[in-house]
Amino acid sequence: MRFSPLRKIAICSVALAIVALSVTVFPQERKAGAVVENFSSPWTVSVTPSTSLLDGQLITVNVKTDVDHPMTVVQAQVCRSGVQYMPSSGSDPATDFTLGGANCPSIPVSTSGDIRIADDGPATYGTTDAGYSFQMYVGVGTVNWSGSDGDQTMTCDETTPCSLVVETRGKDDAGDYRWIPFVRELTYQVTDPISGCGGKAADFLATASSDRMIDSWVRWALEQCHLPGAQAGAATVQSFAEESLAMESFSLGTADIAYSAVGYDSKVGFGQGTAAEPIAMRDYVAVPVALNAMVLAVGNGVPSGGRKVPYTNIKMTVNEVTHLLAGGSSAISGDLSAIVERNPQFVANGLFAPASPIALGATAQDEATSWLFTNHFDVVRPQLWKVPDDNAFGPERGMDRGSYSRLPTADPSFGGVLDLFTGRTTLDKAIKKLTKNDYGGVWAITDAATANALAMTPVQIAYDGDSVNFVGPTQAAMNAAVTTMTSTTDGRLLPDPTKFADSSGPEVDGQLSYPMTYVEYAIVPKAPLVDKSCAPRSGSQALLTNWLKYVVNEGQSNLPGGLQPITDDLKAAATAAIAQVGTGAVTCNAAVSTAGGGSTDSVGAPSAPGVVSRTATKSGTTASATAVAAGAAANTQVLADAELASALADMGSFDDGSAMSGLLAIGGLVAVFGLLVVSAMATSGKLNLRGRSGKSQ
Same domain, yes or no: 588 and 484:
no
Same domain, yes or no: 390 and 366:
yes
Range of the domain at 239: 5-25+200-287+521-636
Region of poorest pLDDT, from 274-283, 289-298, 304-313, 349-358: 304-313
Same domain, yes or no: 141 and 279:
no
The residue-averaged pLDDT of 50-66 equals 91
**Position 250: which residue type?**
F
Q: Which residues contact 394 (CB under 8 A, 6 or more apart)?
A: none
pLDDT at residue 180 is higher than 60: yes
DSSP state of 151: E
Integer Cα distance of 212 and 216 in angstroms? 8
Integer Cα distance of 192 and 159 in angstroms? 13
| Helix or strand holding residue 181 (H, E) | strand 177-186
DSSP state of 131: -
Same domain, yes or no: 588 and 488:
no
If phi > 0 it is left, if psi is from -120 to 50 it is alpha, else beta; for residue 483 that is alpha
Same domain, yes or no: 147 and 278:
no
* pLDDT score recorded for residue 113: 87
pLDDT at residue 304 is higher than 80: no
Q: Is 423 part of a structural domain of the chain?
A: yes
pLDDT at residue 568 is higher than 90: yes
In percent, how much of the chain has pLDDT > 70?
A: 79
pLDDT at residue 680 is higher than 70: no
pLDDT at residue 355 is higher than 90: yes
Integer Cα distance of 32 and 262 in angstroms? 45
Same domain, yes or no: 351 and 490:
yes
State whether residue 273 is helix, strand or coil: strand
Integer Cα distance of 253 and 282 in angstroms? 8
Number of Cβ within 10 Å of residue 108's Cβ equals 21
Q: Is 679 part of a structural domain of the chain?
A: no
266-293 as b/e: b if 16+ CB within 10 A: eebbbbbbeeeeebbbbbbbbbbbbbbb
Using the 3D structure, point to which of 186, 210, 225 is the last residue of a domain.
186
Same domain, yes or no: 210 and 352:
no
Q: Which residues contact 612 (CB under 8 A, 6 or more apart)?
A: 252, 278, 279, 280, 605
* pLDDT score recorded for residue 678: 38
Nearest alpha carbon to residue 220 among 189, 246, 250, 180: 189
Integer Cα distance of 602 and 532 in angstroms? 10
* pLDDT score recorded for residue 662: 29
* pLDDT score recorded for residue 639: 56
State whether residue 304 is helix, strand or coil: strand
Integer Cα distance of 92 and 90 in angstroms? 5
Using the 3D structure, point to which of 186, 218, 238 is the last residue of a domain.
186
Q: Tell me the sheet residues that pair with 296.
A: 445
Same domain, yes or no: 241 and 358:
no
Q: Tell me the sheet residues that pair with 419.
A: 361
Integer Cα distance of 178 and 169 in angstroms? 5
* pLDDT score recorded for residue 632: 35
pLDDT digits (tens, 9 = 90+) for 578-606: 999 999 998 777 644 456 654 333 333 33
* pLDDT score recorded for residue 418: 97
Q: Is 165 exposed, middle or buried (0-12, 13-18, 19+ CB in 10 A)?
A: buried
pLDDT at residue 638 is higher than 90: no
Count CA atoms within 13 Å of residue 537 on its CB side.
31
CATH assignment of the domain containing 272:
3.40.190.10
Instruction: Domain count for the chain, please give it.
Output: 3
Same domain, yes or no: 356 and 277:
no
Q: Is 382 part of a structural domain of the chain?
A: yes
What is the SS3 assignment for 446-501? EEHHHHHHCCCEECEEECCCCCCCEECCCHHHHHHHHCCCEECCCCCEECCHHHHC
Q: Is 194 part of a structural domain of the chain?
A: no
**Position 80: which residue type?**
R
- Provide the greatest CA pair distance for the chain: 84
Q: Is 653 part of a structural domain of the chain?
A: no
Integer Cα distance of 628 and 78 in angstroms? 44
CATH assignment of the domain containing 129:
2.60.40
Interstrand relation of 615-617 and 315-317 (parallel, antiparallel or unpaired): unpaired
Cα–chain center distance at 125: 32
pLDDT at residue 17 is higher than 50: no
Mean pLDDT of the chain: 82
Number of Cβ within 10 Å of residue 202's Cβ equals 13
* pLDDT score recorded for residue 16: 37
- Higher pLDDT, residue 601 or 72: 72
The residue-averaged pLDDT of 613-638 equals 31
The residue-averaged pLDDT of 459-484 equals 93
Q: Which residues contact 490 (CB under 8 A, 6 or more apart)?
A: 263, 264, 286
Same domain, yes or no: 345 and 438:
yes
Q: Describe the crossing of helices 538-552 and 568-580 by its angle, rounded to 10 degrees.
A: 170
pLDDT digits (tens, 9 = 90+) for 447-465: 999 999 998 999 999 998 7
Nearest alpha carbon to residue 243 among 126, 102, 405: 405
The pLDDT-based confidence of 191 (bands split at 50, 70, 90) is confident
The residue-averaged pLDDT of 143-166 equals 93
The pLDDT-based confidence of 648 (bands split at 50, 70, 90) is very low
Q: What is the pTM of this model?
A: 0.75
The residue-averaged pLDDT of 478-486 equals 96
* pLDDT score recorded for residue 373: 97
* pLDDT score recorded for residue 414: 97
Q: Is 645 part of a structural domain of the chain?
A: no
State whether residue 436 is helix, strand or coil: coil
pLDDT digits (tens, 9 = 90+) for 108-150: 999 888 899 998 889 999 999 999 998 888 999 999 999 777 8
Supply the Cα-derived Rg of the chain in whole angstroms: 26
Same domain, yes or no: 78 and 125:
yes
Q: Is 84 part of a structural domain of the chain?
A: yes
Using the 3D structure, point to which of 619, 636, 653 is the last residue of a domain.
636
In percent, how much of the chain has pLDDT > 90?
A: 66
Same domain, yes or no: 350 and 475:
yes
Integer Cα distance of 88 and 333 in angstroms? 53
Region of poorest pLDDT, from 319-323, 335-339, 596-600, 663-667: 663-667
Q: Is 687 part of a structural domain of the chain?
A: no
pLDDT at residue 18 is higher than 70: no
DSSP string, 350-367: -SB-TT-S-SEEEE-S--
**Position 622: which residue type?**
T
Integer Cα distance of 566 and 475 in angstroms? 10
- From residue 177, alpha-carbon distances to 71, 168, 242 in Å are 8, 10, 57
pLDDT at residue 621 is higher than 60: no
* pLDDT score recorded for residue 58: 86
